[in-house]
Every structure is written in structure tokens, then in C-alpha cells.
Amino acid sequence: MAIFIINNFQKRFKFFILIELRIIQVVETLTSEWGILVIILLRLISIIIPILPGTYCLLISGYLFGIVNGLLISCIADLIACSTSFSISRLYGRKLIQKIIPKRLLDKFELLSRNYLERNFFLLTGCLMTGWFDFISYGVGLTKLKWKTFFGALFLSVLLSDLPFVATGSGIRELKDQNITIKQIINGDFPSLDEKFLIVFIFSALMIFSIGIFSSFLNKKIIKK
């Protein structure tokens, strides 16, 4: 199953890698300080306005700054952005959020948050590791979930979910240093990128979701008794 997910991961990025590399070339011309600020700003915008793509920011971060520094920059950007979304929901409510997210989508994520995520730390963490994390940040902000609990789940999820993307960006840089052309990267004519990080992410996600589902089941049993 892990190999299947890894293969899908690589196919998914084949279509976007050219655009992302062009953006990298633009950001690369900036100084380190400005490059960091641009990455954080782009990531912030892509999360606060969920319909905008933002994965390329993680790739750029890994490409320009390596795995360790790139992951640190990406985590800071995600923590700021998702905390902002949560705070907007908490302070201004549905009236403002409906101008950002379609009402039908907002209803679904608010219902999911109230019924399953508000009192289940691990299930919340698992959902924040998915591609819907930006919508979920808005959804749980409409519940009575404490900010400290949200931030704890967010920190763990960001650390695990950003890692494979940042590592892939770093891997692209290594391939470029080995004189691998953009055409080869797009066609997939290169070794698998950082499979160990993807396996860690997949295993962690499965474990967190399993604990979350078990906790939900256990809580229902206790409530019934």
C-alpha cells in the first residue's frame, strides 16, 4: 500500500513540477531573508484562502534551504497561517468565513468539527495532516475547542505532513546539482525521491487516525455506560 501511495505522490507532482521549478528560479534570485519572507507570505495566502494551491511553497522551501531549515520555515508558515484561520473563525464567526469558503463546504467542515474533532485530539491531528487542513482550521474555530489543544494538534500534524514535501524539494535540488535536466524530472527519469520520509508520514498518519478512531469508539462506550 505504501508503494502505491508513493507512486501516486510522484505522478501527482509530475504535472506541477515545471511550474514549481519556474517559481523556484524567481525566488532563488532573491536574498535569503527576502526568500524566506516570500515563502511565508505565499503559504499564508494559500491557507487563508483555501482554494489557492500552496504545496509548491514547501517544495521551494526544501529546494532553497535544505530539509532542516526548509522544514523549519514551512512549519513556521503553516503554524502562523492555520492559527490565523482558527482565530478568524473564533473572533468573527460564520458571517465573515462564508465570504472566503462556500457555505456548503463550511457547513460540512463545521459539522465534522463539532461531531468528531472537537473532543478527539488524535482524530483532529490526523485530519490536519490531510489536504483539507486549511478548511478544518476554519471549521474547528467555530467550535469550543481550546486554542492550546488546536495548536498542539497543528504542530504535530505540520511537522509530519510537511516533511515529505520539503524533502522532495531538497531532492530536486540534489538532482539539479547532478546535472539532471528539467525534462528528465518532468518525465520521471530519476530515482525515487526520499521514500523514507513518505513512509514515515504514511505510517504516522495511519497510527494517529487509528488512535483517534479508537478513542472515539471508547468515548461512545463510556458515555453509554
Cα 94 to Cα 81, 120, 138, 150: the distances in Å are: 18, 23, 9, 19
In 3D, which of 132, 126, 191 has the Cα closest to residue 160? 126
In 3D, which of 162, 187, 198, 204 has the Cα closest to residue 62? 162
Question: What is the arithmetic mean of pLDDT over 179-188?
Answer: 52
What secondary structure does DSSP assign to 24-71, as a single string?
HHHHHTS-HHHHHHHHHHHHHHHHHSTTS--HHHHHHHHHHHHHHHHH
More confident call, 76 vs 13 = 76
Could you tell me what percent of the chain has a pLDDT over 70? 66
Claim: this prediction has a pTM higher than 0.95: no
pLDDT band per the 50, 70, 90 thresholds, residue 155: very high
Q: What are phi and psi of 20, to 5 degrees?
A: -65, -40
**Is residue 68 predicted with pLDDT exceeding 60?**
yes
CB 167 within 8 A of CB 62: yes
**Is residue 212 predicted with pLDDT exceeding 70?**
no
Question: What is the arithmetic mean of pLDDT over 60-74?
Answer: 88
- Kindly report the average pLDDT of the chain as a whole number: 77
